[in-house]
Amino acid sequence: MTPTFSLAELAERIGGVLRGDGRAIVTGVADVGEAGSADITWITNPKYVEKLATSRAAAVLVPTDFGPTPMPAILCPRVDRSVAKLLAAFAPAIAKPETGIHPTAVVHHSARVAADASVGPRVVVEDGASIGPRSILRAGVYVGSQTIIGEDCLLWPGVVIRERCTVGNRVIIHPNAVIGSDGLGFYFDGGRHEKIPHIGGVIIGDDAEIGACVCIDRAKFGNTLVGQGSKIDNFVQIAHNVRLGEHCVLASHTGLAGSVRTGRYCVFGGRAGALDNVTIGDGARIAANSMTAKDVPAGQTVSGFPAQEHRKELRVQASLRRLPEVAAQLRELLARVERLEASKHDHP
């Protein structure tokens, strides 16, 4: 069943103010260039306004102070928030998994599973583990010995959480992520790398979201920490004993080496990283494709490798592009100096 709303209903639902005829029927969401006559779209930047002229969209979400539009509009104080509500309104209904333990799941008799939790097919829950109220473990999830999963969590298929880890409440973990694997730790002895035991664990704070195929290694001792509200994209590596602060965002392929510490509200762009033992202050940003080898002060944006203050790096990048011409200028200057030197000798 496709969700269907009148424009007036939608405006109310997403927290905006209707401008124009509220009776139009909307059945979907689409890009401005691809919207059909029953779709709603959005635009935030006035420079794209001309795209509206040729759009077939039934209506458009715009910021509150946006100028006239060729179709009905919903004026929104925060377009991003309203778009999120819009997408929620049109989300297809997905059957919720049944509560209880699927007959193909293997749950140890000493594990505790809340009565209203949902443990899906092929899930394995080891001895002493605990699954909190309303948490959903999709097919094939593995929960190790003595690991604790909080309330209202959602673990997608193939997630592996090893022993003695703790996952907070309302945590989402995407498919095939691995929590609590041993870190890379060896000492060199007799020509061989000998394993350093990793006897610590991992603690993931409330409301964190962990992407697909993410690896968060357990600590050598103590715990690797993911702060509450932090959002981690696919393929991110969190090494042993990292302490990631609260409400950080780490884009895909980012890597935090051993014992990195970050403050709150840090942002790592795609394929960003930090070498081991680096400390990163509150609100610092590591740009995409950049890796810091030293501490980053709070609030600073760094880029490049080794990363430096972003404005400095931009200047270096700009100079770099002109480098071949610098070499040419240098050659020319040398020739001119040589001529000057020669002429000096002409005038003794």
Active centre residues (catalytic): 240
Selected binder of a copy of itself within 235, 281, 285, 286 (CB under 8 A): 235
Distances (CA, A) of 342 to 88, 333, 337, 338, 346: 79, 14, 9, 6, 6
Verify binding: residue 49, a copy of itself, rule CB under 8 A.
no
Selected binder of a copy of itself within 134, 174, 261, 285 (CB under 8 A): 174
Verify binding: residue 255, a copy of itself, rule CB under 8 A.
yes
Over the window 179 to 198, marking each residue x when it contacts a copy of itself by CB under 8 A and - when it does not, the resulting string is --xx-x-xx-x-xxxxxxxx
Verify binding: residue 20, a copy of itself, rule CB under 8 A.
no
Selected binder of a copy of itself within 45, 50, 92, 109 (CB under 8 A): 92
**Smallest separation (angstroms) from a copy of itself to the CB of 68:** 25
Closer residue to a copy of itself in complex, CB, 11/107: 107
Verify binding: residue 268, a copy of itself, rule CB under 8 A.
no
Selected binder of a copy of itself within 63, 150, 158, 227 (CB under 8 A): 158
Over the window 102 to 141, marking each residue x when it contacts a copy of itself by CB under 8 A and - when it does not, the resulting string is x-x-x-------------xxx-x--x----------xxx-
**Smallest separation (angstroms) from a copy of itself to the CB of 147:** 11
Selected binder of a copy of itself within 145, 151, 309, 310 (CB under 8 A): 145
Residues numbered 277-306 forming contacts with a copy of itself, rule: CB under 8 A: 288-289, 291, 305-306
Verify binding: residue 80, a copy of itself, rule CB under 8 A.
yes
